[in-house]
């Protein structure tokens, strides 16, 4: 039964994986045997993150590109093609947060969040799926949603709209690509202790609200999401399509 979750021989690309949840996903998949490709926009952070994984004995490399830049994404995939590197697992994790009341929200800030948190999953997912379909041996795509894929709070409208879109984008991808053996699903984390949430964690009122408003009565830890990512990246989820966990 352990083989069900074994990712040996598979290559995983995790966007936005130089830190935060993305780095936890990279650690989890690497620990399950996958060769991981760390992505981010900052070359130094990506190199350090890949080195951190290699120092732990994992097969890891970096690939720097901006997930919102279609030309850069296409070039990155063309580079992988040229090196004979085939992506079996894609985690569309890259995301940013922007907290402000909607009446004060600038269109450029709305667009930046939508581009990074939602459109990027289409841009990168399209390139990965084209190759998975052509190879004929299926694949796994995991889009990272949020608690805000299902519920909303004030001042994070573009993030919430993007994460709601992520949930339905996974379903749209599943509707088109499941027939090719590609399982597309969403992970929707609750409130996790990451650097994106530092301001919230350090706010006693918000910290108390998070602890009071979820059954576990605590913040989650990034490593607590590894198991779900391994499950959705492995044979154990070969008949799971369009779901959000
Ligand atoms: C916020 C937080 C949330 C969490 C997470 C919850 O400002 O409410 O940033 O968006 O990061 O997405 O699932």
Per-residue pLDDT tens digits for 42-74: 999 999 999 999 999 999 999 999 999 999 999
| Residue 98 CA to ligand 1 centre (angstroms) | 10
What domains sit in the chain, N to C, each tagged with a CATH number? 2-237 (3.40.50.720)
CA–CA separation, 41 and 25 (whole Å): 17
CA–CA separation, 34 and 84 (whole Å): 16
For atom 10 of ligand 1, which residue has the closest CA?
A: 148
Per-residue pLDDT tens digits for 112-160: 999 999 999 999 999 999 999 999 999 999 999 999 999 999 999 999 9
| 1 pLDDT tier (thresholds 50, 70, 90) | confident
159 is catalytic: yes
Global pTM exceeds 0.75: yes
| Catalytic entry in 65, 77, 159, 191 | 159
| Residue 160 CA to ligand 1 centre (angstroms) | 9
Q: Where are the beta strands (DSSP E) in the chain?
A: 11-14, 35-40, 60-64, 89-92, 139-144, 182-187
- Torsion angle, CA of 7/8/9/12, rounded to 10 degrees? 40
* Ligand 1 pocket by Cβ (under 6 Å): 97, 99, 146-148, 153, 156, 159, 189-191, 196-197, 200
Per-residue pLDDT tens digits for 77-105: 999 999 999 999 999 999 999 999 999 99
| 196 pLDDT tier (thresholds 50, 70, 90) | confident
Q: Are 117 and 163 in contact (CB under 8 A)?
A: yes
| 6 pLDDT tier (thresholds 50, 70, 90) | very high
| Residue 96 CA to ligand 1 centre (angstroms) | 10
At residue 216, φ and ψ (nearest 5 deg) are -75, -15
**Atom of ligand 1 at shortest distance to CA of 149?**
13
């Amino acid at each position: 039964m352990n083989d069900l979750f074994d990712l040996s021989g598979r290559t995983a690309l995790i966007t936005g994986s130089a830190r935060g949840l993305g780095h936890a996903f990279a650690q989890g998949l690497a620990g399950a045997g996958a060769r991981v490709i760390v992505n981010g926009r900052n070359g130094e952070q990506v190199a350090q993150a890949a080195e951190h994984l290699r120092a732990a004995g994992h097969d890891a490399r970096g690939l720097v590109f901006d997930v919102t830049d279609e030309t850069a994404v296409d070039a990155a995939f063309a580079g992988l093609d040229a090196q004979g590197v085939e992506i079996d697992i894609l985690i569309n994790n890259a995301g940013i947060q922007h907290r402000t009341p909607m009446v004060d929200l600038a269109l450029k800030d709305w667009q930046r969040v939508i581009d990074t948190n939602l459109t990027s999953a289409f841009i990168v997912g399209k390139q990965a799926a084209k190759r998975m379909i052509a190879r004929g041996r299926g694949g796994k795509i995991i889009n990272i949603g949020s608690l805000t894929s299902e519920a909303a709070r004030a001042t994070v409208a573009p993030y919430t709209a993007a994460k709601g879109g992520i949930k339905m984008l996974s379903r749209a991808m599943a509707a088109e690509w499941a027939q090719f053996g590609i399982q597309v699903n969403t992970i929707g984390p609750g409130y996790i202790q990451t650097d994106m949430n530092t301001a919230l964690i350090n706010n006693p009122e918000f910290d108390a609200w998070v602890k009071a408003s979820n059954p576990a009565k605590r913040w989650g830890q990034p490593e607590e999401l590894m198991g779900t990512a391994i499950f959705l990246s492995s044979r154990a989820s070969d008949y799971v399509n369009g779901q959000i966990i």
